[in-house]
Amino acid sequence: MNTDKPSRRTQVLIIGGGPSGLLLSQLLERSGIETVILERRSREYVLGRIRAGVLESGTVELLREAGVGERMDREGLVHEGIYLAVSNRGFRIDFKHHTGGTVRVYGQTELTRDLYRARDAMGGTILHEVDQVRIEDADSGSPRVSFRHEGRERRVECDFVAGCDGFHGVGRQTIPADVRREFERVYPFGWLGLLSPTPPVSEELIYASHERGFALCSMRNPNLSRYYLQVPLDDATENWPDAVFWDELKCRIPRDAAESIVTGASIEKSIAPLRSFVAEPMRWGRLFLCGDAAHIVPPTGAKGLNLAASDVYYLWQALKQHYLDREDEGIDTYSARALARVWKAERFSWSMTRLLHRFPDQSDFDRRMQQAELEYLETSVAAQASLAENYIGLPY
């Protein structure tokens, strides 16, 4: 293998070519700030990942600002509320009525595809299938990143490094252990997800709390449905042939939905573990963390991608201020600003998870408290307004 280290320079080196890294690169480049993206996987792999697609109103506006909102606006589904079901009986939370806002359903895969096209159109530099990434001297004025690409050792010198490289990436691990503090809650169950080329059972999402466990009816588009069941962490997809999945889903959702649902062969099935996780701080020297590199939320509150977007917004604004205005207040306050919003979203996601799922160690008292909280939510205008405000997204 050739072991020389050809170097190049950029202003911002972004590790991670998923939605957060691509969006940050797009926003920075449109502001005249040069970037290079390093991605561990191939483009085909990144575009093949199945992820959530509920976008907060702030995320929608940020994507428009980045110049990638045209297809989202044309094809995305505007939702003005959600349904909550309790023991097969449902009620609706009206976002539009309580807040004036909405969310938009648009698959993360499609969003990533739009961002790739935008980066390609601007001649963006994205290096795929890189490994052995090392962030060096991030606490100095001259950080650099070394890595292996196409059989060669390479190095990029830069002004700043953005770690958009996910929970298992090198970004967070580069922050020294005596500086980094981590908070975590691992949940004792997972979500079994099934993707089906069938029309959704409802025009809006259905969140169902049932004695047999949680269920969610979601969608990617008018002809592609995504359904979830709460299952034990040690369960396996092999235990859930399609017919068994559909029967169990029908048991947990409202009766009218169960009677009208269109079933079909699955095209993807997987089990995802649930955790709440936050790492502090989100900045060390000239290294910044964005998205899953710094925080994970259970998907119950639809906050994962949206939190990554708000991180990107804060970092974009901070770097733009640094380069264009020669001011570093945004850089100095990035971690505190991002974490303030992160913890509020963590609270909402944790509360939704606690409210709707069955826990293995749950007592009769705990179950009664869930029932009382759901009954209060059904009848209280203030409680519904609070849920709606958090679901559509708190302001940046």
Among all residues, which ones are annotated catalytic?
79, 207, 299, 303, 391
Q: How far is the C-alpha of 280 from the C-alpha of 77, rounded, in Å?
A: 35
SS3 93: strand
The backbone torsions φ and ψ at residue 379, rounded to the nearest 5 degrees and listed phi first, read -110, -10
Q: How far is CA 278 from the centre of its chain?
A: 14
Residue recorded with tokens 């990107």: 312
Q: Per the omega criterion (within 30 degrees of 0), is the bond before 281 cis?
A: yes
**Computed over its alpha carbons, how large is the radius of gyration of the chain?**
22
Q: How far is the C-alpha of 360 from the C-alpha of 301, rounded, in Å?
A: 21
Query: Angle between the 57-65 and 304-325 helix axes, to the nearest 10 degrees?
Result: 40
Three-class secondary structure assignment of 158-199: EEEEEECCCCCCHHHHHCCCCCCEEEEEEEEEEEEEEEECCC
The backbone torsions φ and ψ at residue 225, rounded to the nearest 5 degrees and listed phi first, read -110, 150
Residue recorded with tokens 């889903």: 249
Q: How far is the C-alpha of 203 from the C-alpha of 55, rounded, in Å?
A: 16
Token pair recorded at residue 240 = 């859930």
Q: How far is the C-alpha of 61 from the C-alpha of 54, rounded, in Å?
A: 14
